[in-house]
Amino acid sequence: MAKVNVVLEGRFKGSVIFLNKNCIGVSGNDFTSSNISAYTVIDETNRDQYSFWKGALGVVLLGGLGAAAGITNKKEYLIAIEWKYNGLYKHSKSLILINEKYYKTFIQSMF
């Protein structure tokens, strides 16, 4: 099974996402509206797309067993992040997988 609360692809790939009082972040960068220009949530409500992404990532990470790892009963959220241009990383993107606690904090920090 893929790890949860990590950056799966893109900028900061492989980094563990941390949780603090008001936001989540990675490598000194907070996931807030001041750092993120756009995000797309691919969650369990769209089971086909969610399972596809989890399975596809699982195959890449775990081989044949990864496709089976794409189906889960836990509340997890795949989120595609587009970072704001800060002079260093033009058009930077990340794909993150977070649990429900991190997701609630993320959504609150975006407003």
57-72 tens-digit pLDDT: 654 544 444 444 454 5
Q: Please give the residue range of the domain that contains residue 47.
A: 6-109
pLDDT at residue 24, as a whole number: 96
Within a domain: residue 68? Answer: yes
Q: What is the structure's pLDDT at 51?
A: 60
- 1 belongs to a structural domain: no
Q: Number of folded domains in the chain?
A: 1
65 inside domain: yes
Tens of pLDDT, residues 85-110: 766 666 689 999 999 999 999 999 99
In a domain, 87, yes or no: yes
Decide which of 47 and 28 is more confident.
28
Q: What's the alpha-carbon Rg for the chain, to the nearest Å?
A: 14
Dist. CA 36–CA 48, nearest whole Å: 26
Percentage of the residues of the chain whose pLDDT score is greater than 70: 64
